Chains A and B, each alone.
Chain A
Amino acid sequence: MKGPSGIERKLSKYGYIFILPFLLTYLAFQLWPIIYTILLSFSDLKGLRADFTLIGLENYKKLITDKYFWEAIQNTGIVWFFNFVPQLGIALLFALWFTDDTLKIKYKGIFRTIFYLPNLLSAASVAMLYRSLFAYPVGPVNSFLTSLGIWSTRVGENGQIIQEAFNFFRSVPMTRGIVSYIQWWLWTGSTLILLIAGIVGISPSIFESAMIDGANKTQRAWYITIPLLRPMMLYLLITSMIGGMQMFEIPFLLTDMRGGPDYKIRTMMVYFYNTAFQGGNNYAYGAAISVGIFIITLILAVIIFFMMRERQTKVTE
């Protein structure tokens, strides 16, 4: 290979000049905060101070033995799982229907818009909306349930059975379910659009030849569409997982800002916020938590990346 000629070298200078604004912004507002966070995680910065000393691995030692950190990971995982599986399943079903020309669905565009709409709402207003929907003892959902004769029961002090409305936000499974549902409701639309794009991108000739070979609709979906959508689904898995790791606003605002009841809705980001910005202002430990979240996300992403690579080599074989 020949080196760049004089004119190329002259022109490439402009390339660097053009990316300079981005590079400077990136260094100042992206890279430096990341480095600073990592630095803080080795320090003892706490409360209303600006000066700190480096104390080595103390924060990480605490992090590894902190049962609330591991509980937060578990909480995040559960809430994310019950959001992602139905999200992918239902979005896939709708994507298959919407791309199936034989079904002749009218107003597809309107449906897609409607499914996407929740994504445009701000998380804060969504959380407030669901808080009042599931209000206790009187709220829309409770009124609906009691009108159907569905009551929560408890045994009173005299042994009699008392019928009551459901106190949703004092039940761990209910609250987790509501958070998962909100996440599902917010993100299904965008998953749907990406899956539709993925299906439309599959070459029609494959479907045509399958049809000639006599494959029915289910077989086409099962043996052609879904396998060929795998890269798209893995992309969705990774982005959703990264988003899920950072799940904050809904669990924060839907509960008492601490992930109650019993701190079982306290996701990693809520725990981080509680530590760093509420009460003790323990910035150093908060930084260690966020580095911990970063490492876990990285490990999971790498695992999925290798899974994806393996699949792809098999496909090309």
Chain B
Amino acid sequence: MKKLLLALVAVSLLVLGCAKGQKAANEPKSLVVWSFTDEVKNMIDKYYGPANPDVKIEYSLTPTDQFPNKLDPVLASGQGAPDVFALEAAFVRKYIESGLLLDITDVANEVKSKMFGYPIEVGTYNGKVYGLSWQVTPGAMFYRRSLAKKYLGTDDPAEVQKYFTDLNKFLETAAVLKDKSKGTCVVVSSTGDMFMPYKGARKQPWVVDGKLVIDPAMLAYMDMAKVLKDKGYEGRVGQWSEGWFAGMKGDLKNEKGQPIEVFSYFLPTWGLHYVLKTNAPATAGDWAMIQGPAGYFWGGTWLAAYKGTKSPNLAKEFIKYLATSDEFLTKWAKDTGDMVSNKNVVNAIKDTYSEPFLGGQNHYAAFANMVSTIDGKLIQGTDQAIEALFNEAVTAYVNGEKTKDEALAAFKEQVKSTLGF
């Protein structure tokens, strides 16, 4: 009996071993894909799936705030890790720098010439590419046409841009808006709105050679926020708060019941479709977009693969299709209005748009012009954590709780203590 059992085990082991050997030579035609929105799911269901019927995709969705917590342990241990996963701009660099992702430099080199530069820069670490994105998310300044006409005398984007060419001019115009409106019109609703443009104006990343560097642009942001607050050029609400959304609808009021007119919002591509359009339908047609004082990008989703995947070639093909394919991205851009990262596609379709929400302005062409100024090399894995600490320092300074030096000293100490820089 025992001998029989032993023989059985031996045979089954042999069969299993053979099966495994075969698989290694001919990788499985299946991928496990993780993401945090249903965008990637739509891409798979409607485009990739029908085009590649022989590939089996197992898709799993985890909300953004829990996504890193779910991904970290499986990537670190390699057990139950997905083959391909989506990474959000806020945390993409943490993974790009981790050494746990599949090197996809060959795919990137193949498509480099037709792609916008900064998403590849964000996906690059030590000269190797680990992540690619199907979209670009340049940021713009969206303003209310009616307010521009009332206080600046024009609502033509080219003319309005002249009032906001740089950050000093921005402050001058903020003063004009306040004076002409007798105090009701603020240039932005929240000092936080200014963070992304200033972040885009930096020349250095937060961490250089393991040391914290506070770029002059970040110090300028502190000053700007203080001026906006002290002079009453901002609406005193927090980003993403009720008041912030009320400003978009044009019904923000202060605590005394007086109306506050919010002139502009700094938002990227997705901000137009998912923030402005959805929250301010009543003001549709009264908006227009310009570059504003500085070029920047905000958000975006990258695709990367786990380096221990059993199907590296299939994973590469998958990423290449979703992030770069002319054919797919043309369809995707036409169906969703997403600003894609493929220059050929953007150039072919950009002149066909006219956005009723922006009073007929061609947002696609406008965004396309903003991509070239973006620097993707300044993004690092620890940005999110550092910026959260920095914002506390800025708020303390702006509210007069601390002097600028005290706030900066506290910020440096916190960074040193919690992050070790």
- A interface residue numbers (CB < 8 A to B): 47-50, 66, 68, 132, 135-138, 142-143, 146, 154, 156-157, 164-165, 167, 170, 256-258, 260-263, 274-275, 277-282
A260 to B391, CA, bound (A): 10
A14 to B78, CA, bound (A): 41
Determine how close the nearest CB of chain B comes to the CB of A20; give it in whole angstroms.
Answer: 27
Chain A: which residue is nearest B236 at the CB level? A137
Query: Could you tell me if B256 and A68 are in contact, using CB atoms closer than 8 angstroms?
Result: no
Query: Could you tell me if A281 and B72 are in contact, using CB atoms closer than 8 angstroms?
Result: yes
13 A/B residue pairs, CB under 8 Å, sorted by A: A68-B417, A137-B237, A142-B255, A143-B255, A146-B256, A167-B399, A170-B401, A256-B391, A256-B392, A260-B392, A261-B401, A279-B388, A281-B72
Grouping DSSP codes into helix (H, G, I), strand (E, B) and loop, the B interface class, with mixed when no group exceeds half, is: helix
CB contact under 8 A between A170 and B255, given known A137-B236, A256-B388, A280-B382: no
Query: Could you tell me if A277 and B401 are in contact, using CB atoms closer than 8 angstroms?
Result: no
Determine how close the nearest CB of chain A comes to the CB of B161; give it in whole angstroms.
Answer: 30
A262 to B418, CA, bound (A): 15
User: Which B residues are in CB contact (< 8 Å) with A260?
Assistant: 392, 395
Interface residues of B in 317-359 (CB under 8 A from A): none
CB contact under 8 A between A278 and B385, given known A48-B100, A256-B392: yes
Q: Please tell me if B75 contacts chain A, counting CB pairs below 8 Å.
A: yes
Determine how close the nearest CB of chain A comes to the CB of B411; give it in whole angstroms.
Answer: 11
A142 to B324, CA, bound (A): 52
User: Which A residues are in CB contact (< 8 Å) with B417?
Assistant: 66, 68
Among B99, B391, B401, B418, find the residue whose CB has the most chain A CB atoms closer than 10 A: B418
Q: Which of B99, B256, B382, B414 contacts A263 (CB 8 A)?
A: B414
User: Which B residues are in CB contact (< 8 Å) with A47?
Assistant: 98
Q: Which of A50, A275, A279 contacts B382 (CB 8 A)?
A: A279
CB contact under 8 A between A136 and B236, given known A165-B255, A261-B401: yes
Chain A: which residue is nearest B253 at the CB level? A138
User: Which B residues are in CB contact (< 8 Å) with A138?
Assistant: 243, 253-255
Query: Could you tell me if B396 and A135 are in contact, using CB atoms closer than 8 angstroms?
Result: no
Q: What 8 additional pairs, Cβ within 8 angstroms, besides A135-B243, A165-B255, A279-B418? A: A47-B98, A48-B72, A50-B78, A68-B414, A132-B242, A136-B236, A258-B392, A278-B388
Query: Could you tell me if B236 and A135 are in contact, using CB atoms closer than 8 angstroms?
Result: no
A157 to B227, CA, bound (A): 11
Bitwise, B261-291 to A at CB < 8 A (1) or not (0) is: 0000000000000000000000000000000
Chain B: which residue is nearest A258 at the CB level? B388
Chain A: which residue is nearest B95 at the CB level? A48
User: Which B residues are in CB contact (< 8 Å) with A68?
Assistant: 414, 417-418
User: Which B residues are in CB contact (< 8 Å) with A66?
Assistant: 417
Q: Please tell me if B76 contacts chain A, counting CB pairs below 8 Å.
A: yes
CB contact under 8 A between A50 and B384, given known A165-B255, A258-B389: no
Chain A: which residue is nearest B77 at the CB level? A50
Determine how close the nearest CB of chain B comes to the CB of A71; give it in whole angstroms.
Answer: 10
CB contact under 8 A between A279 and B419, given known A146-B255, A164-B255, A258-B388: yes
Determine how close the nearest CB of chain A comes to the CB of B99; give it in whole angstroms.
Answer: 8
Q: Please tell me if B94 contacts chain A, counting CB pairs below 8 Å.
A: yes
Query: Could you tell me if B254 and A277 are in contact, using CB atoms closer than 8 angstroms?
Result: no
A263 to B256, CA, bound (A): 31
Chain A: which residue is nearest B252 at the CB level? A138
Q: Which of A48, A142, A262 contacts B75 (CB 8 A)?
A: A48
A157 to B77, CA, bound (A): 57
Determine how close the nearest CB of chain B comes to the CB of A171; give it in whole angstroms.
Answer: 9
User: Which A residues are in CB contact (< 8 Å) with B53?
Assistant: none
Query: Could you tell me if B400 and A154 are in contact, using CB atoms closer than 8 angstroms?
Result: yes
Query: Could you tell me if A274 and B75 are in contact, using CB atoms closer than 8 angstroms?
Result: no
Chain A: which residue is nearest B385 at the CB level? A279
Q: Please tell me if B241 contacts chain A, counting CB pairs below 8 Å.
A: yes
Chain A: which residue is nearest B260 at the CB level? A137
Interface residues of B in 389-421 (CB under 8 A from A): 389, 391-392, 395-396, 399-402, 410, 414, 417-420
User: Which A residues are in CB contact (< 8 Å) with B395?
Assistant: 170, 260-261
Determine how close the nearest CB of chain B comes to the CB of A162; give it in whole angstroms.
Answer: 9
Q: Please tell me if B69 contacts chain A, counting CB pairs below 8 Å.
A: yes
User: Which A residues are in CB contact (< 8 Å) with B77?
Assistant: 50
Query: Could you tell me if A280 and B237 are in contact, using CB atoms closer than 8 angstroms?
Result: no
User: Which B residues are in CB contact (< 8 Å) with A157?
Assistant: 230-231
A138 to B419, CA, bound (A): 36
User: Which A residues are in CB contact (< 8 Å) with B419?
Assistant: 279-280
Query: Could you tell me if B399 and A279 are in contact, using CB atoms closer than 8 angstroms?
Result: no
A278 to B386, CA, bound (A): 10
A256 to B389, CA, bound (A): 10
User: Which A residues are in CB contact (< 8 Å) with B399?
Assistant: 167, 170
